[in-house]
Amino acid sequence: MSNTIGANFRVEQAIFSLATNVDRCYLQCAWTYFATLGNVVVSDVYQSAVLHMNENAYHNQMLWLGFTKPMLYQDLLNLSKVLEQQNKRQSFAKPHITLDIDIIAIKTQQSIDTQKDEKNQDFIQLQSNWYGIARRLPLADYDHVCYTDLCQKTPCCPNLLK
């Protein structure tokens, strides 16, 4: 992995996409843990339609986190993967996903115009010190529904719907 990860910038707020196709309780496990790091607001849970007979429906939710103490971006990435594994996510290719956590957007303490994410992609500047994760935007339909609901519950949401 290259040295392009923004280990040198701190995140003050973050928006996450949470998903499970096993049990909704895994969503609660995620936001209960994130609440130990600061203030949390969650959207209502959106259940996606089952497209194939042998699939489980996905339960999706968006979460806004305002950190009590800003966290390094690299630490936030690592934490999200550890949290997935602690909730029995063994593989990223299995049909049963207990918990999927994706960072959608971050608010930083300073400009990160020259930084790259963990996939060596530029961040998308949304507004003052809010940056979107390029491969997560535009939002998938289920995330769009959850994000719209989340923004009705907190004034802290950046505009991801451009």
Supply φ then ψ for residue 16, to 5 degrees.
-120, 150
What's the token pair of residue 137? Answer: 């935007």
pLDDT in the model for residue 97:
76
Q: How far apart (Å, rounded) are the C-alpha atoms in residues 80 and 90?
A: 14
SS3 149: helix
Which residues of the chain register pLDDT less than 70? Answer: 1-7, 53, 88-95, 113-114, 162
- Please tell us whether the domain made up of 10-153 is placed in CATH 3.30.70.20: no
DSSP state of 138: S
What's the token pair of residue 136? Answer: 């997560």
Nearest CA among 91, 102, 36 for reference residue 69: 36
pLDDT in the model for residue 141:
92
Q: How far apart (Å, rounded) are the C-alpha atoms in residues 30 and 97?
A: 14
pTM: 0.88
pLDDT in the model for residue 93:
55
Q: How do the domains of the chain map onto residue ranges?
A: 10-153
pLDDT in the model for residue 89:
56
Q: How far apart (Å, rounded) are the C-alpha atoms in residues 59 and 47?
A: 4
Give the ranges where 15-109 is alpha helix by DSSP (H): 25-34, 73-86
Give the ranges where 37-72 is alpha helix by DSSP (H): none
Contact 61, 146 (CB under 8 A): yes
Q: How far apart (Å, rounded) are the C-alpha atoms in residues 5 and 64?
A: 22
What's the token pair of residue 112? Answer: 């990160």
